[in-house]
């Protein structure tokens, strides 16, 4: 079983580019829009991108597992599993906002080891693998050194989700303590933390295909990726990216009901 992390990272970069770049033929152009049972949007660009990435994985790493948002699970019992979100931030995509991304995470024995966040419309590629560091378009990147919430830039995707998942009071406390809040959200917000352009990104709700790429990227950039209780995980349905200097104070804010 091939567990060469550099090779897997290089492949994930190549596959994310192929899948992500395929979305550009539809971005700010014509596309088919539908809504899933949970009322989330999906387009033919999402589906085509995932199909491209799946085909490449099966050609280059036959037998590897795949978990994808649009086409489900195959070979999940394999010790290497690729986790795909072909368009993270579909709302941005359908509104012509370039802050959507293609995500690839690779789990080895159920542990996130490789992560890629690719923003096709802006040309930004962040990639990381355990022990290999984190890079933005091939250049090393790290989280920003910020030791005070008063100096911190706090990002989120939708303010309404904090209330929907019981975190509205904590959101308001963090909002009061932070220097500035913006909704440059979805995985692009986590990318901004990894590259030192923001300090905090919080998702009150996310799925495994949203999270699998993020943990390696944030931790290899010198930051902390956890759920809102402070546990380093991709499986509890919410996420906090920040630097380690801010983590404990943020977790305390969200633990105080």
What single string gives the DSSP state of each residue in 44-84?
HHHHHHHHHHHHHHHHHSTT-EEEETTTEEESTTSSEEEEE
237 and 157 belong to one structural domain: yes
Which among 43, 78, 44 has a CA at the least distance from the CA of 58? 78
pLDDT of residue 235: 96
Distance CA 194, CA 256 (A): 27
For residues 12 and 135, membership in a common domain is answered with: yes
pTM of the model: 0.95
Q: Which conformational region is residue 187 in: left (phi greater than 0), alpha (psi within -120 to 50 degrees), or beta?
A: alpha
Give me the number of domains the chain comprises: 2
108: domain CATH number is 3.30.540.10
CATH of the domain at 197: 3.40.190.80
Q: State the pLDDT at residue 247.
A: 97
Task: Determine the pLDDT at residue 55.
Answer: 98
Domain boundary at 108, 140, 172, which? 140
Looking at the structure, tell me whether residues 161 and 129 fall in a common domain.
Answer: no
The last residue of a domain, from among 81, 105, 140: 140
- Are 132 and 157 part of one and the same domain? no
pLDDT of residue 1: 42
pLDDT of residue 131: 96
Same domain for 129 and 46: yes
Task: For residue 35, give both structure tokens.
Answer: 């809504």
Q: Could you give the dihedral angle defined by the CA atoms of residues 206, 167, 99 and 67, in that order, rounded to the nearest 10 degrees?
A: 0
Q: Are residues 42 and 164 in the same domain?
A: no
135 and 154, same domain (yes or no):
no
CB 193 within 8 A of CB 241: yes
Give residue 41's pLDDT: 80
The three-class DSSP label of residue 3 is coil
Tell whether 177 and 203 lie within a shared domain.
Answer: yes
Q: Is 242 helix (H, G, I), strand (E, B) or coil?
A: strand
In the Cβ-directed half-sphere of 65, how many Cα atoms lie within 13 Å? 16
| Domain span including residue 97 | 5-140
User: Would you call 112 exposed, middle or buried from its count of C-beta atoms within 10 A (0-12, 13-18, 19+)?
Assistant: buried
Answer yes or no: do 131 and 156 share one domain: no
Helix H or strand E encompassing 184: none
Give mean pLDDT in consecutive 10-residue pieces for the chain, a chain of 257 residues: 84 98 94 80 92 98 96 95 96 95 98 98 98 98 97 96 95 97 96 98 96 98 98 97 97 89
- Report pLDDT for 86: 97
Distance (Å, whole) CA 20 – CA 136: 16
Same domain, 121 and 67: yes
102 shares a domain with 26: yes
Query: Which residues, 6 or more positions from 174, have their beta carbon under 8 angstroms from its beta carbon?
Result: 149, 154, 200, 202, 250, 253, 254
pLDDT for the residue 257:
60
Residue 13 and residue 127 share a domain: yes
């Amino acid at each position: 079983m091939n567990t060469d992390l550099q090779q897997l990272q290089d492949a994930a970069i190549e596959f994310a580019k192929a899948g992500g770049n395929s979305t550009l033929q539809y971005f700010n152009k014509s596309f088919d829009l539908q809504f899933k049972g949970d009322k989330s949007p999906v387009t033919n660009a999402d589906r085509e991108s995932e199909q491209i990435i799946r085909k490449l994985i099966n050609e280059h790493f036959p037998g590897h597992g795949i978990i994808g948002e649009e086409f489900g699970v195959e070979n999940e019992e394999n010790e290497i599993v690729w986790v795909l979100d072909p368009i993270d931030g579909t709302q941005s995509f359908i509104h012509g906002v370039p802050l959507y991304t293609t995500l690839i995470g690779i789990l080895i024995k159920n542990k996130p080891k490789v992560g890629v966040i690719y923003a096709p419309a802006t040309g930004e590629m962040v990639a990381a693998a355990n022990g290999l560091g984190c890079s933005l378009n091939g250049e090393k990147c790290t989280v920003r050194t910020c030791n005070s919430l008063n100096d911190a830039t706090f990002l989120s995707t939708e303010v309404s989700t904090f209330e929907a998942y019981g975190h509205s009071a904590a959101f308001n406390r963090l909002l009061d303590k932070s220097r500035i809040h913006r909704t440059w959200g979805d995985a692009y917000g986590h990318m901004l933390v990894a590259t030192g352009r923001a300090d905090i990104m919080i998702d009150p709700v996310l799925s495994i295909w949203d999270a699998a790429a993020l943990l390696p990227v944030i931790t290899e950039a010198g930051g902390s990726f956890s759920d809102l209780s402070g546990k380093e995980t991709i499986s509890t349905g919410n996420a906090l990216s920040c630097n380690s200097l801010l983590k404990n104070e943020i977790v305390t804010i969200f633990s105080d009901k």
